[in-house]
Structure 1
């Protein structure tokens, strides 16, 4: 089934290499910045899911999305057009690294490619979406710094080891908040991080376990995503 139904919108996924998954659901639901952003840039939007989640959270923001893959760009454009919530969203078929820098953004967010020097599938569209060849993370940080307004926020979701590597090496950014995501209580999965150009008075650190030992979604996951999930998630096995 190619249509993913959220609480207030639906996302068509046909033709996209990367489908809607738990990563996007958690990242979009968790991500909040203050002050409210007026301009948002979603890098590598895919289906447009994160742009639509931001449109739900920030209905008065102008949301631009960039996507290098032609098919995914067309899918995102259709999703923005068919959902009323996407009326302030637009997508460009564009290489992020050559995006003009005359416009500054209050928030830049991305669920970027993260595989480095890893075995590829041989499927060009999928490899482009998952591997860093077309968007090296070091270049991503440098470009984001130039596009971000001085008081703006850069938000990413990455594997924990990848995020730790870049948190120690990037210049110009400071970690303001982070969420460590555990697939189960003992299996760490991802980290969501908000960076800014100035040091925080106090960094906010959180963690989230997605599934309990019985395999059901945790209360914390259900609470976090309740404004987005289109179906009622079970807390326990009945």
Structure 2
């Protein structure tokens, strides 16, 4: 059984196509959890990592998740039930498209590490390829649903390829969602920016734009990255 042990919870991931990775941990550590929020939704939960990070970082009573794939849904529920916050965590078994069409409630924080490979990908692992391809949850659907489910005071946090940042923000504008925070992520100083961390809301505020470098050299992490993730990783 494949278990990823964090400081305050463990992730069992043998049934999940997409395993614990830097993107998810980074997003869960980076997102600004504003005072007074009462509900969180993890979109496309997979192992449940983001919802568990939100439970560790906040006292929010309602932390929901939605996951389509059977095995991932079952694994997410197992991980929720094994945590100390099981009474605050709940996973719906549905596609996000089904979910946002049927649910009337709104959430103060939406968070997603979405599939984003827009090109055809083939690793020989069909479930993993489907989980990684943007067509299973197109950005248009993700943003339309986010706009429908977001409370008036809420925000939506996501991690996407840097190459898709402009396109994603243009689509967001069409549903009246605007970036408030952008952090662009490099593996090290010598490589191009790879990811964009975005937090959007209905408010057109001045945008806080930063850059994060993960490593100084191979397996030697920057202090900024250590500070961001130390509450989660055992070795930080």
Q: Do the two structures share a fold, i.e. TM-score over 0.5?
A: yes
Out of 152, 158, 181, the position equivalent to 2:154 is 152
Secondary structure class of the residue paired with 2:120:
coil
Conserved 8 A contact 1:179-1:207 = yes
Q: Is 1:192–2:194 an aligned residue pair?
A: no
Q: State how far apart, in whole Å, the 2-side matches of 1:153 and 1:64 are.
A: 15
Q: Is 1:177–2:192 an aligned residue pair?
A: no
Q: Is 1:2–2:7 an aligned residue pair?
A: no
Q: State how far apart, in whole Å, the 2-side matches of 1:53 and 1:214 are.
A: 26
Conserved 8 A contact 1:105-1:147 = yes
Out of 229, 235, 238, the position equivalent to 2:233 is 229
Conserved 8 A contact 1:69-1:125 = no
Matched residue, 2:222 = 218
In the TM superposition, what are the counterparts of 1:52-201 in structure 2 within 5 Å? Answer: 52-99=52-99, 100-170=102-172, 171=174, 172-187=176-191, 188-200=193-205
Q: Greater shift after overlay, 35-44 or 119-128?
A: 119-128
Q: Write 1 or 2 for the structure with the bigger share of helix.
A: 2
Secondary structure class of the residue paired with 2:130:
helix
Q: State how far apart, in whole Å, the 2-side matches of 1:136 and 1:79 are.
A: 27
Q: Return closer, same or farther for 1:125/1:35 CA change in 2, 3 Å cut-off.
A: same
Q: State how far apart, in whole Å, the 2-side matches of 1:63 and 1:53 are.
A: 10
Conserved 8 A contact 1:40-1:107 = yes
Conserved 8 A contact 1:27-1:192 = yes
TM-aligned CA deviation for residue 215 of structure 1 = 4.1
Conserved 8 A contact 2:43-2:112 = yes
Unaligned runs of 5+ in 2: none
Q: Return closer, same or farther for 1:102/1:214 CA change in 2, 3 Å cut-off.
A: closer
TM-aligned CA deviation for residue 85 of structure 1 = 2.7
Q: CA RMSD in A?
A: 1.4
Task: Count how many residue pairs are aligned between Structure 1 and Structure 2.
Answer: 231
Q: State how far apart, in whole Å, the 1-side matches of 2:14 and 2:218 are.
A: 32
Matched residue, 1:14 = 14
TM-aligned CA deviation for residue 86 of structure 1 = 3.4
TM-score, normalised with respect to structure 1: 0.92
TM-aligned CA deviation for residue 101 of structure 1 = 3.1
TM-score, normalised with respect to structure 2: 0.93
Matched residue, 2:27 = 27
